[in-house]
Chain A
Amino acid sequence: MDFFASAMLGFQVAFQPVNILFCFIGVLTGTLVGVLPGLGPVAAMSLLLPTTFHMTPVSAVILLAGIYYGAMYGGSTTSILVNIPGEAASVVTCLDGYQMARRGRAGPALGISAFGSFIAGSFSIVGLMLIGPFLAESALKFGPPEYFSLMILGLTLLTFLASGPMWKALLMAAFGLFLSTVGMDNVTGVVRLSFKIEELVDGVGLVPVVMGLFGISEVLLNVEGTMERSIFQAKIRNLLPNLKDWADSIGPILRGTVLGFFLGVLPGGGAVISSFVSYAVEKRISKHPEKFGTGLIEGVAGPESANNAATGGAFIPLLSLGIPANAVMALLLGALIIHGIQPGPLMMKQHPDIFWGTVASMYLGNLLLLFLNLPLIGIWVRLLKVPYPFLFPLILLFCLIGSYSLNNSIVDVAIMILFGLIGYFFRKFRYEAAPLVLALVLGPMMENSLRQALLMANGNPATFFQRPISGVLLGAALVLVILPLLPRFHRKAISPE
């Protein structure tokens, strides 16, 4: 099937009334999730995952994907109006977005954020359509050593880009790998490290761990703080940016789009890192870097475009290689497997309707978001006025029900609470949880690839360097580990400062 026939098939699938409905529900839920601080796309998708069991696979993926990129749109609203990021990828938008709002320019900030997101989202979908099939073809040449090396590169990249010292990020990744080994060994069938808890035979669930590390720990930190928010009170006018705003923003939007897309493709990249890197790049190349943080529209346009471009990019390794680039993609992987579909190089041939239907639905979703978001901003602002003392019990309740309803198991709830406490201390001691989550997701695949590769090579570890693709990937990972040791590249945290 050629490219245009495939694309047409995708649009036929996406424009079925039922799929339009699920796309609409997905992006609306995603925006709501993005707006509400403390409830990210991972938590929302895991809450809604059981509801997709009765749907067709393509409708399920369209709904869940809509939540993901919808959250990226919604996250900026809280950053700009409340100075609280509704979603981790919008943290950096607070810096200039909120300052713009305080200067009476909330409208253009919200407007450029929506338009930038639309442009970046559309570009990344085109990229997904063009690169996805090509990568899937190439992936047929991948064996266990290449898969292992690719995942090592992904983990290393995430630790390289994470904030704080690299040893902390690497340590988190190693801990995530350890957690992924809990449960039944796929090769020998031996149950390990389950401590005779039946529910752990299948391993430590991703959803309870993520809800604990991100949702519960966030609430614990918020309740010990002041729990006060200053919501932008004045009327929001002039949502359409003027010509000068466009002139200032078009460069950051295009750079953020390209940067976000390629960082999104890499396992371990993703929306959060893309937005931070985009901000850092804009500040670096700006003629007036000292003005960043005082309300520059470039500081909103770049990161918001980058995080939306990354969402499209993140689908590429999942749909073409079967490797989730981040925790959200891991949930989508889980959803596809539940529906009996194995993402990977053969998916485009075996289930073209799902691949192309999902991609086409993202065009539709991006359009819906553009037309939905700007008129709905008033409603989101009203929603944000719900005081946090009323909001946080509901967030906790969502997390409790979400973790329980996965397997109707109280053990999952206990795991979530435990990881909530662990996540609280991680944040206190400044350990980032993202490398842990990615390692937990990639761990089983890494272990299988490692063991298969060693078996194939009669225990010769040099096989990872002797095979060209694997060698290049591992070499790149090695460079990333060594770079911070060099004085010139001695990294400071990837922070906007």
Chain B
Amino acid sequence: MNHDQLSSLTWFFIGAAICAVSLTYKLGTLSSPGTGFMPFLSGGAISVFAVLGFFHATLRKKGGEGEGPLFRGVNWPKALIVFLSLCAYALLFFPLGFLLCTTLFIAFLLRAITPQRWPWVLGCSLAAAMASYLVFEVWLKAQLPKGILGI
């Protein structure tokens, strides 16, 4: 199965699921469309375009068009680390507070992705956290969470 076949198949099921969920709301009639009308329409459209895409991809495959693996030649674990660190930031944002959480976040990324020297890591992470704190909390009054440090 090529990439487009795989993705279109996934989209078909997503569209079908949207249609199924939409049915739990009222579809209404054409003269008085209900709450579920538009979600049902868009879910149906997703499934229809996915079927078209599947046929298109199948024809391309039969025509001999090849494609390489999606993750060949790239360092995908780095992208995964960045993604997980974003999730961790969101989870720790309130418990740790903006300043501490941001310092740790920047320091981790500077160390983990392309390892920098510790003085750079500490200096940059503290400077970035402090500068953004001054701009967003002090100047723009963004009401960032205070966390365990209380600031």
List the interface of chain A (C-beta within 8 A of B): 50-51, 165, 167-168, 170-171, 174-175, 177-178, 181, 185, 187-188, 190, 192-193, 216, 219-221, 223-225, 227, 389-390, 392-394, 396-397, 400-401, 404-405, 408, 410, 413-414, 417, 420-421, 424, 428-431, 443, 447, 450-451, 454-455, 458-461
* CB within 8 Å of A: which B30-49 residues: 30-39, 41-43, 45-46, 49
Q: Is the CB of B38 within 8 A of A181?
A: yes
Known A390-B110, A417-B87; 12 more pairs at CB < 8 Å: A168-B53, A175-B46, A192-B35, A392-B82, A393-B128, A400-B90, A410-B94, A413-B89, A413-B90, A414-B90, A429-B70, A454-B33
Tell me which residues across on chain B come within 8 A of A428, comparing CB atoms: 70
Q: Number of contact residues on B: which range applies? A: 35 or more
Beyond A401-B142, A451-B33, A455-B31, whether A417 also contacts B136 by CB under 8 A is no
Residues of B within 8 A of A450 (CB): 33, 38
Please measure, in the bound complex, the distance between the C-alpha atom of A348 and the C-alpha atom of B35, giving whole angstroms: 34
The chain B residues found within 8 Å of chain A, CB to CB, are 3-4, 7-8, 11, 14-15, 18, 21, 25, 29-39, 41-43, 45-46, 49-50, 52-53, 56, 70, 74-76, 78-79, 82-83, 86-87, 89-90, 93-94, 102, 105-106, 109-110, 113-114, 116, 124, 128, 132, 136, 140, 142-144
The 10 closest A-B pairs by CB, nearest first: A459-B31, A459-B30, A174-B45, A389-B114, A178-B42, A171-B49, A177-B42, A224-B79, A393-B109, A405-B142
Some 26 contacts from A to B, beta carbons below 8 A apart, are A165-B4, A170-B49, A171-B11, A177-B41, A178-B39, A178-B43, A181-B42, A185-B35, A220-B79, A220-B83, A223-B78, A223-B82, A392-B109, A393-B109, A393-B110, A394-B106, A396-B105, A400-B86, A400-B89, A400-B90, A401-B142, A417-B86, A450-B38, A451-B38, A454-B31, A461-B30
In the docked arrangement, what's the CA distance between A343 and B59, Å? Answer: 47
A50 touching B82 by the CB < 8 A rule? no
Contact A50 B46 (CB under 8 A): no
Q: Complex Cα distance A220/B36, Å?
A: 35
Asked if A224 contacts B105 (CB within 8 A), the reply is: no
In the complex with contacts A410-B90, A417-B86, A459-B29, A224-B75 CB distance below 8 A: yes
| Count: A-B pairs, CB below 8 Å | 158
Note all chain A residues with C-beta closer than 8 A to B90: 400, 410, 413-414, 417
Interface of A is mostly: helix
- Distance A190 CA – B124 CA, assembled complex (angstroms): 48
**Which listed residue (B11, B43, B128) contacts A397, Cβ 8 A?**
B128
For the complex, give the distance between the alpha carbons of A314 and B31 in Å.
34
Neighbouring B residues of A224 by C-beta, 8 Å: 74-76, 78-79
Please determine whether B86 and A178 come into contact, CB atoms closer than 8 angstroms: no
Contact B46 A396 (CB under 8 A): no
Are A171 and B50 touching (Cβ within 8 A)?
yes
Interchain CA distance A451-B78 in the complex, whole Å: 47
Residues of A within 8 A of B89 (CB): 400, 413
Residues of A within 8 A of B74 (CB): 224-225
Q: How far is the CA of A214 from the CA of B22 in the complex (A)?
A: 29
Q: Do the beta carbons of A396 and B30 come within 8 Å of each other?
A: no
The answer to whether B105 and A50 touch across the interface, beta carbons within 8 angstroms, is no
Partner of A393, one of B11, B33, B79, B105: B105
In this complex, which of B37, B82, B140, B143 has the most chain A Cβ atoms within 10 angstroms of its Cβ?
A: B82
Given A389-B116, A390-B110, does the pair A174, B86 have CB atoms closer than 8 Å? Answer: no
Contact of B7 among A177, A225, A429 (CB under 8 A): A429
B94 CB to nearest A CB, Å = 7
